[in-house]
Amino acid sequence: MNTIETGTEELLCRLEDRVAIITLNRPKKKNALSDHLTPALRQTLLDLETKREVGCILITGSGDAFCAGGDIGGMGGNASKDKEVSELPTAEERVRALIHKQETLTLRLADHAKPTIAALPGVAAGAGLCIALACDIRVACRSAFVTTAYRNIGFSGDYGGSWLLTQLVGPSKAKELFFTGRRVQSDEALELGIFNNVFDDASFENEALALAKQIASGPPIAIGFMKEHINRAVTGDLRSNLAMEADRLIRCAATSDHKEAVKAFMEKRTPVFTGD
């Protein structure tokens, strides 16, 4: 097990059996995002893109929460109350800055070269829920819950939550969950398709890591193409996906991993993939 430096104690990262485990580490704040944690998360995700030794990324939170979203203490003008009006960014500048922040977190996660899993040991709210939704797979302990939460602070939503949630539950249910901000407990989240699996609290960490290790042991090139196919299916058409699948399959046929898989099948053993 190797530690990966993130530049802050608010974000931890370690590598175990080809799984990069990222832990949001502000337990006293329910792992709310901050000026230290969030930039470190963006940079760590970027750094992991090209690490051949990483086959899967698992994002979780310390303590009894995944991520409570933005730190409300810095909202409502509190962070800028000591600045002169002339020093404050314009509305247009704030919009551009937020778009950049969203694209380098939500979009980076959704398009990441590695498969990603959000493992929820507790609440995911607001932007924290969006981080979980941007991952490929979501698993949770039985006591976990999610909430859009934005209405509670007079916000309409950000970080792609409206688009991501609608893909999973449809527009009518997404509207209900945004309009009410109600808690969605783990059993309902599983039924709605927000969660892929729910595990007992006692076994949650082991079960989530076992799933990540299973994915990480697979053929990296083929799994990367699978993710690309499915992501494109959301906005593309069948003809385009057929062409892309044909192209990527022929590429896979030329890899060492494909040859190893065929050889292992004939020898009745488990293949060992290398990403070549």
Q: What is the mean pLDDT of residues 140-148?
A: 98
Q: Which residues pair with 119 in a beta bridge?
A: 139
Tell me the pLDDT tens digit for each residue of 178-237: 999 999 999 999 999 999 999 999 999 999 999 999 999 999 999 999 999 999 999 899
For residue 157, give both structure tokens.
């939503």
DSSP string, 240-271: HHHHHHHHHHHHHHTSHHHHHHHHHHHTTS--
CA-nearest of 216, 205, 214 to 48 is 216
Query: Could you confirm whether domain 2-216 is CATH 3.90.226.10?
Result: yes
Check whether 72 has a pLDDT greater than 80.
no
CA-nearest of 13, 24, 92 to 47 is 13
Report the percent of the chain where pLDDT is more than 90.
92
For the domain covering 220-266, report its CATH number. 1.10.12.10
Q: 71 falls in which pLDDT band (50, 70, 90)? A: confident
Is 138 within 8 Å of 195 (Cβ atoms)?
yes
Mean pLDDT in the chain? Answer: 94
Q: Please state the domain extents for the chain.
A: 2-216, 220-266
Q: Give the N- to C-terminal CA distance of the chain in Å, as an integer.
A: 23
Q: What is the mean pLDDT of residues 5-27?
A: 97
pTM above 0.85, yes or no: yes
Report the pLDDT value the prediction gives residue 97, as an integer from 0 to 100: 94
Q: What is the mean pLDDT of residues 128-139?
A: 98
State the Cα–Cα distance between residues 208 and 139, nearest whole angstrom. 7
For residue 244, give both structure tokens.
């892309």
Considering just the CA atoms, what is the radius of gyration of the chain in Å?
A: 20
Q: 87 falls in which pLDDT band (50, 70, 90)? A: confident
State the Cα–Cα distance between residues 162 and 73, nearest whole angstrom. 24
Helix, strand, coil share of the chain (percent; to 5): 50, 15, 35
Check whether 81 has a pLDDT greater than 70.
no
Q: What is the mean pLDDT of residues 116-132?
A: 98
Sign of CA dihedral 265, 267, 271, 272: negative
State the Cα–Cα distance between residues 245 and 238, nearest whole angstrom. 10
Q: Which residues pair with 24 in a beta bridge?
A: 11, 61
Report the pLDDT value the prediction gives residue 77, as an integer from 0 to 100: 52
Q: 85 falls in which pLDDT band (50, 70, 90)? A: low
State the Cα–Cα distance between residues 118 and 241, nearest whole angstrom. 27
Report the pLDDT value the prediction gives residue 89, as an integer from 0 to 100: 87
Check whether 78 has a pLDDT greater than 90.
no
